[in-house]
Amino acid sequence: MTFMMTNSSLTEPEYDLICFSHLRWDFVFQRPQHLLTRFAKNHRVFFIEEPIFGDDGPRLEVSQREDDLFVAVPYLPHGTDVDAVMPDLIEKQANEHGIYEPVMWFYTPMMLPWAGRIKPKAIVYDCMDELSLFKGAPPQLLDREAELFRRADLVFAGGQSLYEAKRERHPAVYAFPSSIDVEHFSRALEIDDEPADQQGIAHPRVGFCGVIDERTDLDLLTRIAELRPDWQYIMLGPVAKIDQADLPCRDNIHYLGGKSYNELPAYLAGWDVAMMPFAMNDSTRFISPTKTPEYLAAGRPVVSTPVRDVVRPYGEQGLVYIAALPEEFVMAIENALSEDPAKRQAKTQEFLSRISWNKTQREMSELIKKVIARSVDSKAVSI
């Protein structure tokens, strides 16, 4: 596919954005998608995923998702030295598509060698997770992160805890916790039609939406389902990095699979309580779940295990119930079921108005512009 310049790019041609991501664009709609779809309104965005290995290639397959947003998937033969091949593939695409004054945006330090000989206007590290603590993390990840800190102009931290852990490692670290598209999720307050696969499930319903992986406390889910067999527990989302056979199997636990971002409000509309049964382990130490404000915008009361970035600020401000043990979790759900929805929604409305994805993207964009302006001024002075 030819990477064509569109009219929206011509209105603000400061830079094109090349994003290197360990997350696939079509997996779940989360922080990268929220931010980059907004950047694509004024810049061309080239989103590069991890390779898919097979019997053919090497090649970079590019598909257009919006006017100025393109997803590039590397297809490589088995056994390929990825770091040796990818720089040439990316440089070739950049030349063919006329990449203009690129800004490089990294979600994973592991792709840092892929930048090759391309000279960026700025380098951004959007650190949305502590990847070194995730299951199967590559042993060289920490060394590459250290190199990325040395080369980056800006570091965006995806939560307050991550910010506190990273702020001494770089002079320009900024906290940008999970934000919210209030308009999208508040549709749940007005939806009456039930999705077909949720219609037959009895109430009360306690729901979760997100990736079901090593961050999910399956023991907690099992125990609360046993403690209240009259409640129905709905689990929306793909299963990743854990065996499907390890999922608790009970009549009152319903796995409905992955849903698109556009479908989520309709599912949330039918829940009585939303839950976040996160395991308290290394992989959740620094997470800032996007689902916290999404649940609140949908008008659902929320019960969560004591994840640090949920306790601060949501628990401290009385916006989310915090519970650790199964018995406490059940008690918190009981309290949530007896809440006055109007009072809860009034309390959350002002808080949510301060954390929109639009505001977050604008603030990030301004920081990038300042970096580029400093670079231009520096070159002018040297001349």
| Residues 120 and 196 both lie in one domain | no
pLDDT at 330: 98
| Residues 174 and 315 both lie in one domain | no
| Residues 109 and 198 both lie in one domain | no
Total number of domains constituting the chain: 2
Determine, yes or no, domain membership for 1.
no
| Residues 190 and 303 both lie in one domain | yes
* pTM assigned to the model: 0.89
| Residue span of the structural domain in which 265 resides | 182-352
Could you tell me which of 61, 70, 20 has the C-alpha nearest to residue 40?
70
218 exposed, middle or buried (CB, 10 Å; 0-12, 13-18, 19+)? Answer: middle
pLDDT digit of tens for each residue in the chain (383 aa)? 334 334 343 334 489 999 999 999 999 999 999 999 999 999 999 999 999 999 988 999 999 998 899 999 999 999 999 999 999 999 998 988 888 899 999 999 999 999 988 999 999 999 999 999 888 889 999 999 999 999 999 999 999 999 999 999 999 999 999 999 999 999 999 999 999 999 999 999 999 999 999 999 999 999 999 999 999 999 999 999 899 999 999 999 999 999 999 999 999 999 999 999 999 999 999 999 999 999 999 999 999 999 999 999 999 999 999 999 999 999 999 999 999 988 888 889 989 999 999 999 999 999 999 999 987 656 544 44
| Residues 234 and 319 both lie in one domain | yes
pLDDT at 296: 97
Determine, yes or no, domain membership for 244.
yes
| Residues 57 and 171 both lie in one domain | yes
Can you state the angle between helices 218-227 and 326-337, rounded to 10 degrees?
60
| Residues 39 and 133 both lie in one domain | yes
pLDDT at 57: 83
117-153 pLDDT, tens digit per residue, is: 899 999 999 999 999 988 888 999 999 999 999 999 9
> Is residue 105 within 8 Å of residue 126, measured between CB atoms?
yes
| Residues 135 and 226 both lie in one domain | no
Could you tell me which of 320, 39, 49, 286 has the C-alpha nearest to residue 164?
286
> Is residue 270 within 8 Å of residue 182, measured between CB atoms?
no
343-351 contacts: CB < 8 A, separation 24 or more?
344/299, 344/301, 345/189, 345/299, 347/318, 347/319, 348/296, 348/297, 348/319, 351/296, 351/313, 351/317, 351/319
| Residues 136 and 28 both lie in one domain | yes
pLDDT at 336: 97
Determine, yes or no, domain membership for 321.
yes
| Residues 189 and 174 both lie in one domain | no
Determine, yes or no, domain membership for 168.
yes
Could you tell me which of 291, 70, 44 has the C-alpha nearest to residue 181?
291
Bond prior to 204 in cis (omega within 30° of 0): yes
313 exposed, middle or buried (CB, 10 Å; 0-12, 13-18, 19+)? Answer: middle
Determine, yes or no, domain membership for 236.
yes
| Residues 237 and 107 both lie in one domain | no
What tokens were used for 41? 């309104």
| Residues 249 and 344 both lie in one domain | yes
Determine, yes or no, domain membership for 277.
yes
Domain harbouring 373, CATH code: 3.40.50.2000
Distance between CA atoms of residues 211 and 279, nearest Å: 13
> What is the Rg, in whole angstroms, of the alpha carbon atoms belonging to the chain?
22
Residue bearing tokens 């397959």? 61
